[in-house]
């Protein structure tokens, strides 16, 4: 598995398995399948309500813990120093592990400064191997990065061929922060899986639209966590390291960039209200 090196020297797989929208009932089976076909990074979150399923699958896999890379995220309702500190221990318990490889602040709302202080403390205590943020647009990302002791090592943001995050990625690089994609397939929006550009380029390499899109992001040094509940698709999503897109193909796919979200804007008042109220549940 190809890896990226985080600012503190930790090696992180560039491709992993994401369990967003995988039900708690399905999660253990899906993660077990993912591990069996070769995934070694699993991305979950407190708000997904499936950390326990990840923990059970990892425990049953028999794979040495040091060969795995577990990612989870602190949700809005656990924001602030004291709540975040308690939630970190709770995530450790649910994942059945002594340490988390990467912990992220899930959303840039509520007292995320207090959350980050708790994360810095847990990092220094050895409970976390790396820390970072998720869904932080450049303005809030810079604000946090300028006033924290430990710069965020990762920022997980919506990144796919239609929203390529080029300028934010450059800003992240200034702070030694690795970009990580959520929604690398845009959840099928904008007719993603039938896109004629991705289809034509993929056919040149004997690859699917999904594989072509993942390869594009990987060649841009973007960490990806595609999700599927089907084992055969998990295998296909992992099979992207035996070819490289040409410079011309990279440029062609680059032109698909619309430079805006296909989901929602964290600047929109209605989005902030929705997430804030969800965070109070």
For position 118, which CATH number holds?
A: 3.20.20.100
48 tagged catalytic: yes
Q: With 90 as the cut, is the pLDDT of residue 49 above it?
A: yes
Average pLDDT over residues 211-228: 97
| 39 band by pLDDT with thresholds 50, 70 and 90 | very high
Binding region for substrate = 106
Q: With 90 as the cut, is the pLDDT of residue 82 above it?
A: yes
HSE on the CB side for 101, CA within 13 Å? Answer: 20
In angstroms, rounded to a whole number, what is the distance separating the alpha carbons of residues 84 and 98? Answer: 17
Q: With 60 as the cut, is the pLDDT of residue 281 above it?
A: no
- Residue 53 domain boundaries: 3-279
Instruction: Tell me what percent of the residues of the chain surpass a pLDDT of 90.
Output: 96
Mean pLDDT (the chain) is: 96
Whether pTM exceeds 0.85: yes
> Which of 25, 75, 33, 68 shows the shortest CA–CA distance to 50?
25
Check residue 71 and give its pLDDT. Answer: 98
| 1 band by pLDDT with thresholds 50, 70 and 90 | confident
Instruction: Tell me what percent of the residues of the chain surpass a pLDDT of 70.
Output: 99
Binding region = 106
Q: With 80 as the cut, is the pLDDT of residue 279 above it?
A: no
Buried b (16+ CB within 10 A) or exposed e, 77-93: bbbbbebbbebbeebbe
What are the tokens at 159? 């990144």
Question: How many structural domains does the chain have?
Answer: 1
Catalytic option among 17, 39, 48, 123: 48
8 A C-beta contact, residue 35 and residue 57? yes
More confident residue, 21 or 218: 218
Q: With 60 as the cut, is the pLDDT of residue 180 above it?
A: yes
């Amino acid at each position: 598995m190809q890896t990226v090196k985080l600012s503190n020297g930790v090696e992180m797989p560039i491709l992993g398995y994401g369990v967003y929208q995988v039900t708690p009932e399905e999660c253990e089976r899906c993660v077990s399948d993912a591990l069996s076909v070769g995934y070694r990074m699993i991305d979950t979150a407190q708000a997904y309500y499936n950390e326990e399923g990840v923990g059970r699958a990892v425990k049953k896999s028999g794979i040495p813990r040091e060969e795995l890379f577990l990612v989870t995220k602190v949700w809005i309702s656990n924001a602030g120093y004291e709540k975040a500190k308690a939630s970190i221990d709770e995530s450790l318990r649910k994942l059945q592990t002594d340490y988390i490889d990467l912990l992220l602040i899930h959303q840039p709302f509520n007292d995320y400064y207090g959350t980050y202080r708790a994360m810095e403390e847990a990092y220094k205590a050895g409970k976390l191997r790396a820390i970072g943020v998720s869904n932080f647009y450049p303005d809030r990302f810079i604000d946090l990065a300028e006033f924290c002791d430990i710069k965020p090592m990762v920022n997980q943001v919506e990144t796919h061929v239609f929203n390529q995050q080029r300028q934010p990625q450059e800003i992240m690089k200034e702070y030694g922060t690795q970009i990580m994609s959520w929604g690398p397939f845009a959840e099928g929006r904008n007719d993603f899986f039938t896109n004629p550009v991705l289809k034509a380029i993929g056919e040149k390499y004997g690859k699917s639209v999904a594989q072509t899109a993942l390869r594009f992001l990987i060649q841009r040094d973007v960490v990806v966590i595609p999700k599927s509940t089907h084992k055969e698709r998990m295998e296909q999503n992992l099979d992207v390291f035996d070819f490289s897109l040409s410079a011309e193909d990279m440029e062609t796919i680059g032109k698909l960039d619309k430079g805006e979200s296909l989901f929602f804007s964290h600047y929109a008042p209605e989005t902030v209200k929705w997430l804030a109220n969800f965070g109070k549940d």
